[in-house]
Amino acid sequence: MPKILVCVGDAQLFLLLRHLLANEGFDAQLVTRPCEVEASCRRNPAAAAMIDWTEGPFDRIALLAAVKSLAPSSAVILLSKHRNALDASTPTCDLLLDRPFVPGILFHFLRQLRYRHISADYDGDANDVLRFADLTLNLATVKVYKAGNEVSLTALQFRLLRRLMQRPSTVCQRDELIESCWPPHVEVEPRTVDIHIGHIRRALGGLGPELIRTVRGNGYALEMPYSNKALKPFNS
């Protein structure tokens, strides 16, 4: 799972950002000091660096220049409380979020960023395509099709569906789905899995028969349409 450096001093803000990033397939790594951003970029560049532009005194121009120099492929996301926090001398950032920001703006940016780092999000060949009934999941393009129609899913929903399609007809327990689809340090309740599976079902709904079966008290499995409905004998 690709990581994003998050340099903020507000613990509640970090928890919110970590949740949003995890939903789109990114692992949030907290750094509390701007100098740690530069050190991390030098050691192991991340997919992006998210920096609170209004947090404490530091050489902002030098930091952005260092990030762009040490990790040219890393995106830079700036959080600001004031629209005039940036001036003409500031190096260009990839995304500026004015707090409070609309999560949809961040989601749109992260989905574009995800395509550039998809190889870090799954194990296997980049050309792999998973199929089950009329459902197709393309690992290279991170797209899902149902009955030939493209289905819009978040990165987390994509990973959940991918896990189910990797083991069709086998029950995937909720704990297993949590372990394979969420970052290791994120606490996830089993009920959260149910909610996201419900979102997937609604996204697939209307495009054909239901394919995700609930195994009560256990987990979920894919099931061919009507395969669980045995024909009843005719009694004359």
Residue 162: CB atoms within 10 A of its CB come to 21
- Report the pLDDT averaged over residues 36-65: 83
Asked whether 108 and 117 are in contact (CB, 8 A), the reply is: no
Asked whether 57 and 34 are in contact (CB, 8 A), the reply is: no
pLDDT tens for each residue of 186-215: 788 999 999 999 999 999 988 888 899 998
Asked whether 33 and 152 are in contact (CB, 8 A), the reply is: no
Q: What is the DSSP letter of 120?
A: G
The pLDDT > 90 percentage for the chain reads: 27
pLDDT tens for each residue of 12-44: 999 999 988 988 878 899 988 888 888 888 888
Q: Which pLDDT score, from 0 to 100, does residue 236 have?
A: 33
What is the set of domains in the chain, with CATH numbers?
A: 3-119 (3.40.50.2300), 129-222 (1.10.10.10)
